A and B are shown apart, each in its own frame.
Chain A
Amino acid sequence: MHKSSGSFISRRSVLKAGALSAALVALPVWSTKVIAQATNALTAQVGSSSPNGLISFHAGWMIPVEDQKALLVLEEKKIKEAQASAPKAAQNPGAATEASKPTKKTWTEKLQDSWKQVKNYF
């Protein structure tokens, strides 16, 4: 075995450096592959609970992929309708219903409301 001293570079250290560089170059390629494999496995797993190929549409609706396009178009239409009716409501603030107004409730009333909500879960 060589003894390292001063500026002496051994053949072994050159080989070590080479192997390390190769590993560093290969790591991103290898890791991407591993991550992709894991992702695929996960996707397959998720897919298994939705065997009919359902996907999650906006707000989490579970729908078949073939319905997505038409739903997007319809949703866009509904958004525009909502936007069109919004300024009218703003121009006529008196039309706001009692229910939409903030209410001043006592602490006891709030507690009773919470209790009613909790009781619904029994």
Chain B
Amino acid sequence: MAINPANNFDADIIVIGTSIAAQTVIGQFKNSNLKILVLEGGDLEQTPFAQSLTFSDERGHYVNHHWGGHWLRSYGGASRVWNGFSAPLENWDLIGIDGRPKWPLSIDELQKYYRLSAPLMGEDPSVASLVKYNVAQEFVDRPYIIMDSPLSYSDPKLLAANKNIELRLKHNVIKFTADDSGSFINGIWYSVDGDIRFASIKKNAQIVLGAGGLGNAQVLLQPADNRRVPVGNESGLVGKTLMGHPHVPTGEAFVDPAVLKKPTWAQVKYKKWLPAYIIGADYKTKHNLLNASLSLTMAHDTELSPNEKAVKEFYEKKWGKKLVRQSLYARTEQLPNPDNRIEITAEKNAAGLHKLITYCVFGARDMMVVDTIARMLATHWMKNQLGVATIDNDSIFLKIWGWAHPSGITRFGATPKDSVCDANGRVWAYQNLYINGSSLFPTVGYANPTWTIAALGMRLGDHLTSTMKKNA
């Protein structure tokens, strides 16, 4: 693809990134009369140059290229390769309980967009009914939905088929410039193969930054040319409350096969799913828990030890039924902690962006919730003759690790005092700068964020459609 060294971007909407955060917004404008320019930092496939841009100096529990290893700078982004085990957020995640920040939208609104976005990932819209459950229940069998990978969005030909959309690869956005009023973005610094360029943008052009959970914050942290505060970080909150998802195997179990059956409480047409249990919202509050789930998978087919044989035989005889061997795995919410953060270093990467340093450690509560939910579920199964489980404390407290779903570092909220963006993902200080991605999440729930990112992207697309109509 030819690179056009233009000094202005003549587009109505400029979308930065091609991951699901960006593609769900672009999707709303296919074949419209608006000119859409899409800037992707990577190429069609991963290149060593693009991947070198994802390295950060990692401190805390998430190290060894943890964040960068899950950040793909090529067309389609990380969601091109995997979607993971998905589950929707629930009301309890959004309402700001236990001192956690509140989401600036309701669960009903989010559910509407979960329903709309599920088919994009090969799922039936009915999976959105998992959002609401009986919160008074101690345990809820709330499975993971295994969404398609790779996404249909990963094919650039689908974008090229739209005459109003122009895709430019290898365009790494560095930072923005603001006009004299300080309320409109009027230009973009970017680089192509390390060659740094500047482009002004049309008045009233809207910008959507969907450059990845870390990438979004990295752009807003770059020092400005002629002002003290980086453009986009007027709140001072960019980079704060970095969260991922702590993951850990909690032990093994022998369970009644009934435990593994498809849940029927939600009207879901299940395709690919994984059995999992969560604690009901009322109990989460009562026990001061974070959100977490325990999933069950077939245990490795190794011979049982004498200890395992004894336990299995004893309870099969006592309860008069066959039990199935399973492995238990916890995925949990990480508490938003301002000490967990990203910052930039003095050194620049090959694309001209200041490099990242990440600080992220698990708190005691992040780990205790895993221990508590595992004990509660083991007790529940024993009490109801549904199974017997181990609690592997070495694993929970010493071998806990996590999955890189960088969230919280450009969070949205109700007021500029406690958030970077407003309820629509617009950076508070600017009329034309929007963000989409997990970086918006004030809290993270326990599951992979892809589905929620897709839902928020479609919602942002709807918002921009109505905004552009008003401006026309």
Contact = CB atoms under 8 A, between A and B. Distances in A.
Interface stretch (B12-20, B33-41, B120-128, B382-390): B382-390
A56 B314 contact: no
B265 interface: no
B311 interface: yes
B392 A71 contact: no
Interface stretch (A13-21, A36-44, A45-53): A45-53
B379 A50 contact: yes
Interface string B1-32: 00000000000000000000000000000000
Interface in B137-190: 149
A59 B82 contact: no
Interface string A43-71: 00000011110101111111110010011
A71 B314 contact: yes
Contacts of B149: 122
B108 to A, nearest CB: 29
B388 A78 contact: no
Contacts of B372: 49
A62 B378 contact: yes
B292 to A, nearest CB: 14
B251 interface: yes
Nearest to B372: A49
Contacts of A119: 82
A56 B391 CA distance: 8
Nearest to A121: B247
B61 to A, nearest CB: 16
Interface in A65-89: 67, 70-71, 74-75, 77-79, 81-82
Contact of A62 (B83, B306, B388): B388
B448 interface: yes
B277 to A, nearest CB: 15
Nearest to B85: A122
Contacts of A122: 82-85, 149, 448
Which bracket fits the contact residues of B?
A: 35 or more
Nearest to B297: A120
B376 A78 contact: no
A59 B391 CA distance: 8
Interface string A2-28: 000000000000000000000000000
B115 interface: no
A51 B305 CA distance: 29
Contacts of A52: 379, 382-383
B382 A64 contact: yes
B375 A50 contact: yes
Interface string B295-324: 001000000011111110110001000000
B55 interface: no
A51 B392 CA distance: 19
A63 B382 contact: yes
Given A52-B383, A71-B310, A75-B307, A62 B82 contact: no
A66 to B, nearest CB: 11
Contacts of A79: 306
Interface string B68-109: 000000000000001111000000000000000000000000
B314 A62 contact: no
B403 interface: yes
A51 B378 CA distance: 11
Contacts of B313: 74, 78
B46 interface: no
Interface string A83-122: 0000000000000000000000000000000000001111
B393 interface: yes
Nearest to A53: B379
A111 B390 CA distance: 30
Nearest to B392: A60
A58 B247 contact: no
Contacts of B389: 61-62
B378 A59 contact: no
B390 A59 contact: yes
A78 B379 contact: no
Nearest to B82: A122
Contacts of A54: 378-379, 382
Contacts of B382: 52, 54, 62-64
13 contacts: A49-B379, A51-B379, A58-B307, A60-B391, A67-B314, A67-B318, A74-B313, A75-B310, A78-B306, A78-B307, A82-B306, A122-B83, A122-B85
Name the 6 nearest CB pairs between A and B, nearest first. A78-B306, A122-B84, A60-B390, A75-B310, A62-B378, A74-B310
Given A75-B311, A82-B306, A122-B82, 4 more contacts: A57-B311, A60-B390, A60-B393, A75-B306
